[in-house]
Homo-oligomer: A and B are copies of this chain.
């Protein structure tokens, strides 16, 4: 059935960033709605950010478009342009190849819920402008992974 049951949708939580970069993201958790419906061309995750939690470290994607819709709460979007507050009903899009890194930080006292959509391209790679971290192509085929910006492994 195409209707997605949140009770049985696959779940994710935490962060695979090497320490200490995982710290602000450890409490995040999400339902993999797209996976639950068998979709493969893009991912749709229902992401919960408890107070104090970030969606990610600030990053950009070389080959994947990304879209975020705020369902609940207030979150701070950080980009090269600075900071902007997004609330329920606000949305943002991040075009593949744009090297303006972004992340969403919940600095409030209440949980934030986001719907996050991203295309899936095994050739995708990206960088984290604020920290010594980048990720390699191949994360959907068993490769990928995080390395220092000079390419040495963590």
- Let me know if B119 and A42 touch, CB within 8 A: yes
- Let me know if A65 and B84 touch, CB within 8 A: no
CA distance A65 to B117 in the complex (A): 12
- CB-contacts of A1-29 with B (<8 A): 1-4
- Let me know if B69 and A41 touch, CB within 8 A: no
With both beta carbons as reference points, the residue of chain B lying nearest to A117 in the complex is identified as B117
Interface bits A62-105 vs B (CB < 8 Å: 1, else 0): 00110101000000010101001010001111111000101000
Cβ of A153 within 8 Å of any chain B Cβ, yes or no, is no
Shortest A36–chain B CB gap in Å is: 7
Cβ of A115 within 8 Å of any chain B Cβ, yes or no, is yes
Number of copies: 2
B residues in contact with A41, CB < 8 Å: 42, 64-65, 96, 119, 121
- Let me know if B2 and A42 touch, CB within 8 A: no
B residues in contact with A44, CB < 8 Å: 67, 69, 91, 93, 117
Cβ of A52 within 8 Å of any chain B Cβ, yes or no, is no
Contact of A3 among B4, B64, B90, B95 (CB under 8 A): B90
With both beta carbons as reference points, the residue of chain B lying nearest to A31 in the complex is identified as B91
- Let me know if A93 and B37 touch, CB within 8 A: yes
Contacts A34-B67, A67-B37, A119-B119 given; does A94 touch B42 at CB 8 Å: no
